[in-house]
């Protein structure tokens, strides 16, 4: 194999694919990136057996062929080469090493055979639809923070995508929860998406997708099978296994009859929560919201080790007085997702889940479990 290409093109592609490669691997081939030269392109591929990222870049091909070399090492080499340099990749005559040449730099990297490299992409993907990158990224951004890291509940370790009918129209909906909070976001279902079964996309895949979806104007192709999802963004193809599990019936969790409405200025509220939670050094401490019928909210944090903090806020509230506590960090996470000027809370009592939404936006909602205060 012999391929010559511009350093910046190679670096960009390596940057996309090398992240998939785990730093520690017991299977040597999984530390490697697959390089395949054919026609006028070089294809790079990396996998951790659950997730695979492939990218094709234009290159001048002297001799078609393929090999694999350590991904992080190749990435580090190319990263350190000067900007604007040209990089030549060539397998040595004895077939043992890949020679990386640029200017006066020369590297010889140990290779492992291309034929040993695992392939995840085989199989049919019966469902296929296209969605604007911005919309797809929006679904991920608004729900990703609520993904659980609890290994025992592996079915919560991802975002649940499905296409229910909401108010008479089919929607593509993303849901994530860790048992303390739940995030739900949706967009009008793209053509062809209705046929999609409910799928749970794992956390690592979600993170990679989020980074790939950085060009808002692009259109993304999504293909789904029973066990895998494939997303094509420009020259990058990401294929991932899905979490094999049943996502809980989340609709049950979304409160329908919370009768106490609270309206807050999103920015002022977020700042106040941030300020008082300074006292809460330890993660997991509660902010108490004390609401009075005349539209006042007192936010309080008490930490027996460090002290206490209180701040008052004018809010829209005229129901019965209520004291309710929430995890400060969870409140901040949700406040960061809200887009409009005002946030609407629907509360029931200090022990029941609370619903939080943007004013005038029904496409995203958040549910937060209160804490004892």
CB of 184 to other proteins, least distance (A): 12
Closest Cα to residue 327, out of 291, 268, 276? 276
Outline where 35-173 has alpha helix (H): 71-80, 133-143
324 is a contact residue toward other proteins (CB under 8 A)? no
- 107 versus 154: smaller Cβ distance to other proteins: 154
356 is a contact residue toward other proteins (CB under 8 A)? no
315 is a contact residue toward other proteins (CB under 8 A)? no
Q: 83, 94, 151, 294: which one contacts other proteins (CB under 8 A)?
A: 151
344 is a contact residue toward other proteins (CB under 8 A)? no
276 is a contact residue toward other proteins (CB under 8 A)? no
Q: 182, 193, 196, 324: which one contacts other proteins (CB under 8 A)?
A: 182
CB of 248 to other proteins, least distance (A): 4
- 232 versus 327: smaller Cβ distance to other proteins: 327
Closest Cα to residue 143, out of 68, 203, 227? 203
Outline where 217-262 has alpha helix (H): none
Is 68 in contact with 36 (CB distance < 8 Å)? no
If you search the block for the tokens 């990386």, which residue do you land on? Answer: 100
Interacting positions 3-62 with other proteins (CB under 8 A): none
314 CA to centre of own chain: 35
Is 202 in contact with 159 (CB distance < 8 Å)? no
17: helix, coil or strand?
A: helix
- 98 versus 367: smaller Cβ distance to other proteins: 367
- 125 versus 250: smaller Cβ distance to other proteins: 250
Closest Cα to residue 29, out of 73, 69, 56, 78? 69
CB of 6 to other proteins, least distance (A): 44
256 is a contact residue toward other proteins (CB under 8 A)? no
Is 174 in contact with 160 (CB distance < 8 Å)? yes
- 104 versus 372: smaller Cβ distance to other proteins: 372
Alpha-carbon gap, residue 341 to 358, rounded angstroms: 8
Residues lying near other proteins in the complex (CB under 8 A): 148-153, 156, 177-182, 248, 250, 253, 282, 284-286, 304, 351, 353, 367, 369, 371-372
């Amino acid at each position: 194999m012999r391929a010559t290409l511009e350093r910046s093109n190679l670096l960009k592609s390596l940057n996309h694919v090398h992240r998939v490669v785990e730093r520690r691997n017991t299977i040597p081939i999984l530390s490697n990136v697959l390089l395949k030269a054919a026609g006028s392109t070089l294809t790079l591929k990396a996998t951790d057996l659950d997730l695979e990222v492939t990218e094709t870049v234009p290159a001048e091909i002297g001799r078609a062929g393929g090999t694999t070399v350590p991904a992080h090492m190749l990435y580090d080499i190319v990263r350190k080469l000067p900007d604007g340099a040209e990089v030549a990749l060539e397998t040595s005559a004895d077939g043992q090493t890949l020679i990386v040449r640029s200017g006066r730099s020369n590297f010889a990297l140990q290779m492992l055979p291309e034929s040993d490299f695992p392939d995840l992409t085989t199989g049919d993907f019966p469902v296929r639809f296209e969605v604007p990158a911005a919309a797809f990224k929006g679904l991920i951004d608004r729900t990703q923070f609520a993904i659980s890291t609890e290994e025992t509940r592996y079915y919560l370790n991802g975002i649940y995508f499905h296409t229910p009918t909401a108010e008479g129209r089919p929607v593509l909906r993303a849901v994530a929860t860790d048992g303390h909070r739940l995030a739900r976001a949706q967009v009008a279902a793209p053509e062809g998406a209705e046929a999609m079964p409910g799928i749970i996309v794992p956390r690592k895949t979600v993170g990679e997708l989020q980074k790939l979806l950085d060009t808002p104007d692009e259109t993304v192709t999504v293909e789904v099978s029973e066990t895998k999802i494939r997303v094509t963004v420009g020259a990058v193809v990401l294929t991932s296994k899905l979490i094999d599990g049943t996502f809980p019936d989340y609709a049950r969790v979304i409160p329908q009859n919370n009768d106490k409405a609270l309206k807050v200025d999103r920015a002022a509220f977020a700042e106040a929560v941030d300020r008082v939670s300074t006292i809460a050094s330890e993660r997991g401490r509660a902010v108490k919201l004390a609401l009075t019928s005349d539209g006042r909210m007192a936010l309080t944090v008490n930490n027996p080790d460090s002290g206490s903090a209180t701040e008052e806020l004018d809010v829209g509230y005229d129901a019965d007085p209520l004291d309710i506590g929430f995890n400060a960090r969870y409140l901040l996470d949700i406040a960061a997702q809200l887009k409009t000027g005002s946030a609407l809370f629907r509360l029931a009592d200090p022990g029941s889940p609370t619903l939080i939404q943007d004013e005038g936006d029904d496409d995203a909602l958040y549910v937060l479990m209160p804490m004892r205060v």
